[in-house]
């Protein structure tokens, strides 16, 4: 006999649809959430970057390049970690290219997005650690907004629960073995709240301690990985596991440890924050040229003084003895 759970009195309903049509053109809620997250993140990151002394066009260019890199990285991470969905008997490898059918890994998005931004920063002589510090809170806000897409898709939810904030999931979206349950942990909401709280904490710490050289970004990685570790443990979607732990748990743990070691190294070796964040290469060259010019002028003057017939009396020599006290 199948036992069915009734949803809690104050449960969270799931949207009835995740796609709308304008004529024959589909508007997918998941894509709209990602786009909205990118736009909001760009606004936040640009303001933070300008407050650090950077220019808005530099941040916009890094985002324009970083976003496509991030999408490619997100898809690669998903395909690699869930390879059985696309490769093997009865599978269609070309489905790995159908990004509109879902499947993006945030870990790959961050890694490749950072790579894209770095390539721009290097070309434009921008202090990239300062860029990372500027965008860290913005990334968390973008991730929070993007998680709303999981709500629309009724996906990536947690174990069954009767808590007042349990998430109602339609029968067709419940995984095998859980069809008798009606409400589940809203892991999308947990991650939204965690990400927004972490973003506010990063902004406060940055203002309070004037963090720089990548310290804010290191804290971002630590905070996100810590939250993702326990949220991941609640989820019941089918994924690859190693030793009874979900693969993303290992990724979160490794990310946390690496970020912690990096943060400690920065505290010891890179105190304070950068004073100049753009055009550093040009500034250094200008200073070097100015120094070389001054040194050359001083050498020429010294050589002139040493030539025969160029003896110049010092002020003390020409001074009237009677003027001395």
| Confidence at residue 312, expressed as pLDDT on a 0 to 100 scale | 43
Cα–Cα distance measured from residue 43 to residue 45, given in angstroms and rounded to the nearest whole number: 6
Q: pLDDT for 5-45, tens place per residue?
A: 555 568 999 999 999 999 999 999 999 999 999 999 999 99
**Domain map of the chain by residue range?**
27-280
pLDDT of residue 316: 44
Give the tens place of pLDDT for each residue, 62-86. 999 999 999 999 999 999 999 999 9
The per-residue pLDDT of the chain, averaged, comes to 87
Mean pLDDT to the nearest integer, 123-150? 97
Chain-centroid distance of CA 69 in Å reads 13
Whole-angstrom distance, CA of residue 173 vs CA of residue 151 = 12
H or E segment at 21?
strand 19-22
The pLDDT tens digits for 228-248 are: 999 999 999 988 999 989 999
- Contact in structure between 112 and 76 (CB atoms under 8 Å): yes
Question: Distance between the two ends of the chain, CA-based, in angstroms?
Answer: 116
pLDDT for 3 equals: 46
Closest CA relative to residue 280, chosen from 213, 208, 210, 207: 213
Q: Which residues, 6+ apart, have CB-to-CB distance to 39 below 8 Å?
A: none
Taking 70 as the threshold, does the pLDDT of residue 283 lie above it?
no
DSSP tag of 84: G
DSSP state, 13?
P
At residue 300, the pLDDT reads 53
The tens digit of pLDDT for each residue in 173-199 reads: 999 999 999 999 999 999 999 999 999
Q: What would you measure as the largest C-alpha separation in the chain, in angstroms?
A: 121
Task: Say what the pTM is.
Answer: 0.83
With a cut of 70, say whether residue 287 has pLDDT above it. Answer: no
Distance between CA atoms of residues 146 and 38, nearest Å: 9
């Amino acid at each position: 006999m199948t036992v069915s759970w009734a949803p809690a009195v104050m449960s969270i309903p799931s949207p009835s649809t995740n796609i709308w049509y304008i004529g024959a053109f589909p508007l997918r809620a998941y894509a709209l959430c990602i786009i909205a997250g990118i736009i909001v993140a760009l606004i936040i990151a640009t303001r933070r970057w300008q407050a650090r002394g950077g220019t808005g066009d530099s941040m916009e260019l890094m985002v324009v390049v970083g976003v496509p890199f991030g999408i490619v990285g997100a898809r690669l991470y998903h395909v690699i970690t869930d390879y059985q969905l696309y490769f093997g008997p009865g599978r269609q490898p070309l489905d790995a290219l159908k990004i509109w059918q879902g499947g993006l890994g945030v870990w790959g998005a961050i890694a490749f997005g950072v790579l894209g931004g770095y390539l721009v920063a290097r070309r434009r002589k921008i202090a990239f650690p300062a860029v990372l510090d500027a965008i860290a809170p913005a990334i968390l806000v973008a991730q929070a907004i993007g998680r709303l897409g999981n709500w629309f898709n009724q996906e990536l939810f947690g174990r069954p629960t009767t808590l007042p904030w349990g998430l109602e999931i339609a029968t067709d979206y419940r995984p095998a073995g859980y069809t008798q349950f009606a409400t589940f942990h809203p892991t999308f909401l947990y991650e939204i709240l965690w990400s927004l709280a972490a973003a506010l904490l990063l902004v406060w710490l940055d203002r309070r301690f004037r963090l720089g050289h990548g310290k804010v970004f290191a804290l971002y990685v630590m905070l996100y990985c810590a939250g993702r570790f326990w949220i991941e443990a609640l989820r019941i979607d089918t994924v690859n596991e190693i030793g009874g732990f979900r693969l993303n748990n290992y990724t979160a743990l490794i990310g946390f440890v690496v970020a912690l070691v990096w943060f400690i190294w920065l505290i010891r070796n890179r105190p304070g924050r950068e004073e100049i964040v753009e055009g550093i290469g040009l500034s250094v060259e200008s200073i070097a040229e100015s120094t070389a010019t001054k040194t050359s002028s001083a050498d020429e003057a010294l050589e002139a003084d040493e030539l025969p017939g160029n003896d110049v009396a010092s002020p003390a020599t020409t001074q009237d003895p009677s003027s001395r006290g």
